[in-house]
A = this chain, B = another copy of it.
Amino acid sequence: MNRLGHEVLAAVLQVRSRSLQVLLWQRAREPQAGHWALPGGQLGADEDVETSVRRQLAEKVDVRHLSHVEQLAVFSGPDRVPGPRVIATAFVGLVPSDNDPVVPADTRWFSIDALPETAFDHEAIILRARDRLRNKLSYTNLGFALAPPAFTVSALREIYSAALGHRVSATNLQRVLSRRGQLTPTGQTVSPGPTGGRPAALFRFTCRDIRITDPFAVLRPPNARR
């Protein structure tokens, strides 16, 4: 059998400073020295792609900050990297907005709207990861992976707006997430800021494992849990 290189790559996304950002490191060596790349590397002999991506991400970021990791897609164009052929299995990873992981000196967060010069096909992978996140925010409870453990609706609106790339109404967001059972009040409130107003209620995500939240009840088995 024709034998090929195989690497794993991860687009780690976080809402930071009201924008959706991705973690990149700057290549020190050729090819494409100076270009910014996704964390990852060669698949090891005794590991599957999921084990490999967590091992390799650990070199760039404390993986305990990762609230969700999933396979994104295989990138397999014959010329996607120079030299011998390498197939990539790409992942998307998410970090809650209240975390600020320590990263190495060669590694930085970049807004996806203002990417630097990226390596190889990594920009296409980043944009695919962004689109996957946006889609899953609509039909799953994946907001849990971007949000802190407890949040006001106003804070959650900022996170969804940044991730989706357009302004979301706080009222509508609360209504649809509540209708789908995604939000649970913690019973606590936060004080209003110096400008006054009423204390704001704190919420948490009801569930912190990804699931489809679509209310298309007719397609669920009769006795399925919500």
Contacts and interface: CB of A to CB of B under 8 A. Distances in A.
Contacts of A165: 221
Contact of A4 (B4, B173, B222): B4
A85 B4 CA distance: 11
A173 B2 contact: no
A224 to B, nearest CB: 9
Contacts of A1: 5, 42, 84, 86
Contacts of A160: 219
Interface residues of A, number: 50
Query: How often does this chain occur in the complex, in copies?
Result: 2
B214 A78 contact: no
A169 B49 CA distance: 41
Interface stretch (A13-21, A25-33, A69-77): A69-77
A31 to B, nearest CB: 14
Interface of A: 1-6, 42-50, 71, 73-74, 76-78, 84-87, 89, 135, 137-139, 160, 164-169, 172-173, 175-176, 212, 214, 216-222
25 contacts: A1-B5, A1-B42, A2-B42, A3-B84, A4-B4, A4-B5, A6-B6, A45-B78, A47-B78, A48-B77, A48-B78, A49-B74, A74-B89, A76-B89, A87-B89, A135-B212, A138-B214, A138-B216, A138-B220, A139-B212, A139-B216, A166-B221, A168-B219, A176-B216, A214-B214
List the 5 closest A-B pairs by CB distance, nearest first.
Answer: A172-B218, A3-B3, A139-B139, A1-B5, A48-B76
